[in-house]
Amino acid sequence: MSVKGKSTPAGPPVDRRKEPDRRKDIERLEKDVEELRHLAGDEDADADLERLRQQVSDLRREFYTHLGAWQRAQIARHQQRPYTLDFIGLLFTDFIELHGDRGYADDKAIVAGLAKFHGRPVAVIGHQKGRDTKQRLVRNFGQPKPEGYRKALRVMQLAAKFGRPILTFIDTPGAYPGIDAEERGQGEAIARNLREMARLPVPVIVTVTGEGGSGGALAVAIGDRVNILENSFYSVISPEGCASIIWRDSTKAETAAEAMKITAKDLKELGIVDEIVPEPEGGAHTDHDAAARFLEEVLDRQLVALTQQPIRELLGLRYEKFRRMGQFFDLGK
């Protein structure tokens, strides 16, 4: 049995060896812009400042337009990229975080709670990484354990009980692979979430905001609409993990990333995601407010459309959506 994917058209050839030089050009020009800013008010300086700003903008746009899959993966992992709590602060009001799975513990790698989006009551669930070492340890580097997925499911079922749409934000390297997580039923927790999310009688909108790693992402990513930020990626395994398995060499991660078709554009063409959300110039990490504004428009439009659909129709379309992912055929005996 094999999986048949769609081919993607080849883009213009890009010399990856020149990328460090382009970065240096951008950094040099940004430094010049900063120096000229102190001379504001001088007519010649203002003209030079505007010219350099345009050069920086053109270079940055050209650089980010032709990034490969591996380079986009690095942007998706940028430590200043907006996380779930950042989007909650920028997009939602009256957020009340709910803790614990009512069985073992509160997993801080998953943030879950109730809020309002444009005045409409919703449930919000998402992975949360940390920006420094202390936060990353507390959040377990955004890798949930079984109690995290059970907490997420508890909040989703609570939302379904009261008719609240559910918005999830995906940004994780994957589920935590430790012995303690396996002992407490990591696989069962993920499988249960997949089943229960498929039949939640409320609209579910999923957004991949950074890394979408394997079942750790999919466990909170079964939805009526699946969005992905422009520089995010979504895959069954990390490029490093794929390279280690296929070539026994994790340094071939760049080759693996290209072969796996993990970028937003590839995923849209393969029918894995429904919509690509644009990011501000230079990536979401450069301007959280702008990234939130781009996402806000998409979420509002989709939420309005989904809430107008009858529940039976909503569930049927959700089921068919995921059944269509992947085309299988028998190679013969």
- 16-58 pLDDT, tens digit per residue, is 545 555 566 666 666 666 665 665 555 566 666 677 666 666 6
- Comparison of pLDDT for 326 and 145, the residue scoring more: 145
Q: Are 69 and 252 in contact (CB under 8 A)?
A: no
Residue 329 has phi, psi (to 5 degrees) of -150, 155
The pLDDT value given to residue 2: 37
- Comparison of pLDDT for 324 and 146, the residue scoring more: 146
For residue range 130-157, list pLDDT tens digits in order.
Answer: 988 999 999 999 999 999 999 999 999 9
255's tokens: 């080759």
Q: Are 219 and 190 in contact (CB under 8 A)?
A: yes
The pLDDT value given to residue 316: 95
Q: What's the burial of 267, exposed, middle or buried (CB within 10 Å: 0-12/13-18/19+)?
A: buried
Q: Are 72 and 233 in contact (CB under 8 A)?
A: yes
Q: Are 250 and 244 in contact (CB under 8 A)?
A: yes
Write the CATH number of the domain with boundaries 74-325. 3.90.226.10
For residue range 112-128, list pLDDT tens digits in order.
Answer: 999 999 999 999 999 99
The pLDDT value given to residue 7: 41
- Comparison of pLDDT for 51 and 200, the residue scoring more: 200
Q: Where does the chain hold its CATH 3.90.226.10 domain(s)?
A: 74-325
316's tokens: 């049927």
The pLDDT value given to residue 281: 83
Mean pLDDT of the residues in the chain? 86
Q: Are 277 and 207 in contact (CB under 8 A)?
A: yes
